Structure 1
Amino acid sequence: MPTMDASSEDFATVYALSALAWILAEDSRAQRLIALTGLTPDDLRLRLSNPAVLAAVLGFLEAHEPDLIACAAATGVTPADLVAARRSLEG
């Protein structure tokens, strides 16, 4: 993924959705996301366009630096881009 302005809400949404796809690709990460955020699979499906839900996904990554770094590498952005995206989504 090319570097974009993570402070833009549109790009922040793209980063968050990419991060969510990365999280959900591994069952143990997906289960940890659900356990730690309180989001249910239905919440994710129904509220996927909600900036607060997307910010929570990125916050989940921030809380565990190895996942933040791995996700950034896998999605072609920097960890700082993901942090900036979370801040943008939080308003």
Structure 2
Amino acid sequence: MLEDDAALALHALGWILNDEPRAERLLALTGLAPDDLRASLGERATLAAILSFLAAHENDLVACADALQVPPASLAAAAHRLEGTLA
């Protein structure tokens, strides 16, 4: 399941990066620089932060879920699993 969650997070990141203001907000809220983000894409904490970023902004969560054709709850649940707070 974590591989699916990681793939979902990477797809969500692609969606986030398609909008410059949203991408800048992600970097500002996570404290990651672009190079740090790229270097840490294989880390659960980074992938969880990407999905948590969406979960904290309902409009983005719903829009991203729609674009990825998944329920919004799937994105939030994947964030929790990657954080280790949900089995």
Residue 90, structure 1, aligned to residue 78, structure 2: no
Matched, 1:52 2:45: yes
Q: Distance in 2 between matches of 1:31 and 1:88?
A: 25
How far off its partner does 1:13 sit? 0.4
Question: Structure 1: 5+ residue runs without aligned partners?
Answer: 1-7
| Alignment partner, residue 16 of structure 1 | 9
Q: Output the CA distance in 2 between the equivalents of 1:26 and 1:73.
A: 15
Which amino acid is 2:77 matched to?
A: A
The alignment partner of 2:78 has SS state of helix
Deviation readout 1:26-75 (Å, 9 max, x if unpaired): 11110110111111101111000100000001111111100000000001
Unpaired stretches in structure 2, ≥5 consecutive residues: none
Q: Which has the higher contact order (CA 8 A, sep 6+)?
A: 1
What TM-score, normalized by structure 1, do the two folds share? 0.89
How high is the TM-score relative to the length of structure 2? 0.93
- Identity level (%): 56
Match of 1:72 in 2: 65
- Tell me the matched-pair count: 84
